[in-house]
Structure 1
Amino acid sequence: MGIPVIDLADALAPGSRRSLAVARQLREAATTSGFFYVRNHGVDPAMVATQFALAKALLELPAERRAALSMKHSPIMRGYESLGEQTLDAEMKPDLKESFYCGMDWPDDHPFVQAGYQTYGPSQWPEELPQARPTCQRYIAAMNRLSERIMQLMALSLDLPEHHFDASCRDPMVTLRMIRYPAHPADADDRTFGAGAHTDWGAITILAQDAHGGLEVQMPDGQWVAATPIEGCFVVNLGDMIPRWTNGLYHSNPHRVRNVFSGGAPRFSVPFFYEPNYLARIEAVPGTVTADRPSRFVACTAGEHLREMYEKTYGLQKAAGETASA
């Protein structure tokens, strides 16, 4: 079993000619690996290349400048994260990666910003890279469009109306992350990873990876399979909200990273994490709870779910004033 490649040609708009055929392919991937590549996705390759160039520039700023942008200064976890700050697999050593988080530009008077909801608010930007903010906002806008379309195709794959998830995805929670993995240490033990085995927390992740590879996906049979970079393709995976939304029908599979194929060079990747509206209700969609498949998950809001994951991974305490439910 491998990771399928899904061609989005003639399926990028509602009602497109190949929408149902693509939805069937998505369902097959979602009920097995929870991962798939997408090609002909409508995102300009030049935009992706520009985003990687920015990632390199950001993560090669002097150490003191990166530290000044630490995500610890941000109540919504925006900014720089240094090596070893995150441990995605609690049984392993801290992750060998550093990264920069940013998100959508939300106005100060937006009710979600005023409520202090996770991901809604300002990002931190380096003064010496004035292109950082507009570059990231253009990329986020492109990823938003693609994410919205994948959610529509997912609705079709579940025999639901194409626009079933649209309302839930207005004012979405999104995070753009630029990651730098140093070369894997020659003396590393088997508890050392760039990113330890984990599942993603939200709805979908769209990953641009450089040519070095190193991402591995665990299949339902337990086997680890390389998600080898394919030119012109993104890797898409389903996050933990999707099993809750589909009563376990669709999978969110573990994955991990080791930068062992770069010949000593750093590996860069740019994942985009897409989650629905903070107050969206996450509960089994019609048709997924049956006599043979009783309800498996407690309903919650998207915000409750995401905040729980942040606290688990970073050991955070609930922020003062944080609203836990709708």
Structure 2
Amino acid sequence: MGSDSQYQIPAIEFAMNSPELDRGTDEWYHLCKKVREACENYGCFEIVYDRIPPQLKAETFCVSRELFSLPLEKKKKNINPKPYQGYNGPSVRYPLYEGFGFEEASNYESLRSLTEELLPHGHDQFCTVISMTKKLDELKNMINLMILDGYGLEETSNSFMVSKTLLKLMKYTAPPSRYYSIGTPVHTDKAFSTILCDDQVSGLEVQTRDEQWVKLSISPRSFVFLVGDYLMTWSNGRMHAVKHRVMMCGEKERYSLAAFALPLEGSITKAQKELVDEDYPQVVKDLHYTDFSKFISSE
């Protein structure tokens, strides 16, 4: 069961028009240090961010509700054999969860063909999803630079984090009983990183370093950044791939969205050589994206 303790993950503000967001300033490097330490010590942090209008977030959740309200037969037409993509319906083990995964969700043509099949008159809806994905991509790219600069790797190409964005819309049905029920099981994200937000219905829990579970409560204008397995590998284990889950309780449905930064097909993620030394010998094997994806989606 999740804890109602006062445990707080770091809340880091990325304020519009602030010198903290001007790369190369003292304020920027101070912010980079905060981001790096949060990723190392907690594996996650709250992003207080005002460059994504609340209205855009609200409209994206409206699209999500419309998609999930479609008949099951129609949703199943979007089933995709690739991990995390297409429609995932409730299962015997996890009956509260449904998800839609959209690869290349910032690509107009790619998303249009898919959305028009599900929502024939959904032009405005998929434009909203594209706008949200582009905003999240901008945020992801900025955090990538902060991570580089936080380790003093300004001169290093950020090609290590060249990625594709998988946008995942998720719905969790309220449990039939008043007891805590599993929405999604304990896991770390099989991505470089994840940026996540919800519709203010709680449920997301993270595991602390001392293996306690705590429920996160995030402000309406905030997002959560989660370190994934590939970023942990790149940092040679310095960054903490945080275990998390969704636990449902109460009478409200929960809607959330996540932007996963996935490696490109066939790419290999290695520990950054500057982060391997006598104090930090290489602790994680190289991760081949295609092989790893097949492994985690197998029985």
Q: Give the whole-Å Cα distance in 2 for the aligned partners of 1:314 and 1:57.
A: 31
Distance in 1, Cα, partners of 2:196 & 2:107: 23
Higher helix share: 2
Structure 1 residues 1-326: aligned runs within 5 Å: 1-9=7-15, 10=18, 11-15=20-24, 18-72=27-81, 78-84=85-91, 93-94=93-94, 96-104=96-104, 124-125=114-115, 126-128=118-120, 129-161=122-154, 164-170=156-162, 172-186=163-177, 192-260=181-249, 263-301=250-288, 303-304=289-290, 308-309=292-293, 311-313=295-297, 315=299
Paired AA for residue 168 in structure 1: F
- Relative to structure 1, is the Cα distance of residues 62 and 13 closer, same or farther in structure 2, using a 3 angstrom cutoff? farther
* Distance (Å, rounded) in 2 between the aligned partners of 1:106 and 1:150: 22
Residue 4 of structure 2: aligned partner: none
Shift of 1:140: 1.4
Q: TM-score of the superposition, structure 1-length normalised?
A: 0.79
Per-residue deviation, 1:98: 0.3
Shift of 1:45: 1.6
CA distance in 1, matches of 2:198, 2:261: 17
Question: Measured at CA, do residues 77 and 202 of structure 1 come closer, stay the same or move farther in structure 2, by a change above 3 Å?
Answer: closer
Letter in 1 for 2:164: M
Equivalent position SS for 2:41:
coil
Is the 2:204–2:215 contact (alpha carbons within 8 Å) kept by the matching residues of 1?
A: yes
8 Å CA contact 1:210, 1:229 repeated in 2: no
Q: Specify the SS of the correspondent of 1:194.
A: strand
Whether the 8 Å CA contact 2:98–2:172 is kept in 1: the answer is yes
Contact 2:46 2:224 in 1 (8 A): yes
The two structures have a TM-score, normalised by structure 2, of 0.86
Greater share of strand? 2
* CA distance in structure 1 between the partners assigned to 2:273 and 2:84 by the alignment: 34
How many angstroms apart in 2 are the aligned matches of 1:208 and 1:290?
36
User: Aligned partners of 1:35 and 1:123: how far apart in 2?
Assistant: 34
Q: Give unpaired runs (5+ residues) of structure 1.
A: 86-92, 109-119, 316-326
Distance in 2 of aligned mates of 1:311 and 1:123: 30
Residue 175 of structure 2 aligns with an amino acid whose one-letter code is: H
Report the aligned-residue RMSD: 2.7
Q: Secondary structure at the match of 2:191?
A: coil
Cα deviation for residue 13 of structure 1 reads 4.7
Query: What is the total number of aligned residue pairs between the two structures?
Result: 286
Write the deviation string for residues 77-135 of structure 1: whole angstroms up to 9, x where unpaired.
532110128xxxxxxx3363001111216699xxxxxxxxxxx9997321333334322
| Deviation larger for 242-251 or 281-290 | 281-290
Q: Contact (CA 8 Å) 2:83, 2:297: kept in 1 or not?
A: no
Write the distance in 1 (CA, Å) between the matches of 2:219 and 2:107.
34
